[in-house]
């Protein structure tokens, strides 16, 4: 009797492991239109109303936890902010002088048109979406939104918030989409340093959701702390970046000359991914070679 139980237990365990491995390899090698992806999207679509309701119902609890978190953090930051305020007052006078000069530079570089492309280019149709789920994993920095192919959302569509670039659409169902954040290690964004700096690739560092890294900036190229980064919108005839030119990404916080030819440039993203509640998916837009969206 006992041996029979052991045999049964082992059979079930082996069957489950084999099923998992088969699912894993089949799903990994299957095309997006394959049956496993279709079933997965079906399950996600069926459960999305439940997620939306749960997300709304649990919002007060989330806000409460955030409030405690922020209060705790704010107490620690108070002293630092006082020092920053004193420094900021000293800089204000200099800044006011710089305003006029800055406006002229803005006109020269035509930044307004470029940076606000996402909001004003009529080719893009922004679709507002609410966040309904998040991945708890440090490797999969993704979040789910309540807009899908029924709203015109397609894979690789850029996703933004009021502060800047959030990520791109990685998977779409009829009523939801999964957004791969720029802090997801599988994501890389071609970026340009403003006003006339070099181009590089912005990549995250797994386990550090607050900072990004700007790669491929040589030691000779001039970049400084405080400079702004926007999407480069890089493209040739065959492949393109998923992001159009000019979406703000973040600001350079640290630069260190590398032992090899490249600098180590740290970037702080403008968007606080943990605080996000609503985003905009930029649907439509001009055709970009090699981008499905």
Partner 1 sequence: MIVTWQIGVRLALIVLLAVVVQVSFLSYLSILGATPDALPAVIAVIGLLGGAVTGAVAGFATGLLVDSLLLQTLGVSSLVLLSVGYLAGRYREQFEIDSPMAPALLAGGLTLLATAGFIGLQLMLGVEATVSLLVVREILIKALLGFLMAFPLYPLIRFALRPALVLEEPPTRRRIFRNRRRPVRRRRLRRASTEISRLNNAGARRPSDSASQGGVA
Q: Does 168 interact with partner 1 (rule: CB under 8 A)?
A: no
* x-or-dash string of contact with partner 1, 101-140, rule CB under 8 A: -------------------------------xxxxxxxxx
- Could you tell me which residues come within 8 angstroms of residue 238 by beta carbon, excluding any fewer than 6 positions away? 289, 290
Q: Does 221 interact with partner 1 (rule: CB under 8 A)?
A: no
Tokens of 40: 């997965």
Say how far apart CA 170 and CA 157 lie, in whole Å: 8
Q: Which is nearer to partner 1, 39 or 257 (CB)?
A: 39
* x-or-dash string of contact with partner 1, 35-64, rule CB under 8 A: -x--xxx-xx--x--xx--xx--x--xx--
Q: Does 12 interact with partner 1 (rule: CB under 8 A)?
A: yes
Say how far apart CA 183 and CA 138 lie, in whole Å: 10
CA-angle at 124, arms to 123 and 129, nearest 5°: 160
Q: How far is the CB of 37 from partner 1 (least distance, A)?
A: 8
Q: How far is the CB of 51 from partner 1 (least distance, A)?
A: 6
- Residue ranges in 14-33 that form contacts with partner 1 under rule CB under 8 A: 16-17, 19-28
Tokens of 6: 């052991």
Q: Does 95 interact with partner 1 (rule: CB under 8 A)?
A: no
Q: Which stretch binds partner 1 (CB under 8 A): 118-126, 167-175, 220-228, 282-290?
A: 167-175
Q: How far is the CB of 139 from partner 1 (least distance, A)?
A: 4
Q: Does 213 interact with partner 1 (rule: CB under 8 A)?
A: yes
Sheet strands side by side (includes 208-215): 189-193, 228-231, 248-256, 264-269, 208-215
Q: How far is the CB of 112 from partner 1 (least distance, A)?
A: 34
Q: Which phi and psi (to 5°) does residue 80 adopt?
A: -60, -40
Instruction: Tell me the CA distances in angstroms from 207 to 139, 140, 171, 276, 282, one per residue in order.
Output: 8, 11, 23, 19, 28
Q: Which phi and psi (to 5°) does residue 167 adopt?
A: 165, -150
Q: How far is the CB of 92 from partner 1 (least distance, A)?
A: 33
Say how far apart CA 3 and CA 1 lie, in whole Å: 5
Question: How many residues can be counted in the chain?
Answer: 293
Q: Which is nearer to partner 1, 133 or 241 (CB)?
A: 133
* x-or-dash string of contact with partner 1, 263-282, rule CB under 8 A: -----------x--------
Say how far apart CA 214 and CA 262 lie, in whole Å: 10
Contacts with partner 1 by CB under 8 A lie at 8-9, 12-13, 16-17, 19-28, 36, 39-41, 43-44, 47, 50-51, 54-55, 58, 61-62, 65, 69, 132-140, 142, 144, 170-171, 173, 178, 185-186, 203-208, 213, 274
């Amino acid at each position: 009797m006992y041996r029979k139980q052991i045999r049964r237990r082992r059979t079930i365990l082996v069957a489950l492991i084999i099923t998992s491995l088969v699912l894993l390899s089949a799903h990994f090698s299957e095309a997006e239109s394959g049956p496993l992806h279709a079933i997965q999207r079906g399950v996600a679509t069926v459960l999305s109303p439940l997620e939306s309701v749960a997300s709304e119902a649990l919002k007060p609890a989330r806000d409460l936890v955030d409030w405690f978190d922020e209060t705790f953090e704010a107490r620690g930051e108070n002293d630092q902010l006082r020092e920053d305020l004193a420094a900021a007052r000293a800089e204000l006078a200099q800044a006011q002088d710089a305003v006029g000069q800055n406006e002229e530079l803005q006109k020269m570089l035509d930044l307004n048109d470029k940076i606000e492309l996402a909001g004003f280019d009529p080719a893009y149709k922004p679709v507002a979406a609410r966040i309904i789920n998040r991945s708890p994993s440090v490797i999969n920095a993704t979040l789910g939104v309540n807009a899908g192919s029924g709203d015109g959302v397609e894979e690789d569509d850029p996703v933004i918030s009021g502060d800047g670039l959030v990520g791109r659409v990685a998977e779409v169902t009829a009523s939801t989409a999964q957004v791969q954040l720029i802090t997801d290690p599988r994501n890389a964004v071609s970026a340009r340093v403003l006003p006339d700096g070099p181009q590089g690739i912005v990549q995250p560092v797994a386990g550090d959701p607050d900072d990004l890294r700007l790669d491929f900036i040589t030691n000779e190229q001039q970049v400084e702390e405080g400079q702004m980064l926007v999407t480069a919108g890089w493209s040739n005839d065959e492949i393109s970046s998923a992001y159009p030119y000019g979406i703000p990404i973040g600001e350079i916080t640290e630069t260190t000359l590398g032992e090899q030819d490249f600098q180590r440039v740290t970037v702080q993203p403008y968007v606080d991914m943990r605080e996000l509640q609503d985003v905009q998916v930029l649907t439509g837009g001009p055709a970009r070679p090699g981008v499905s969206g």
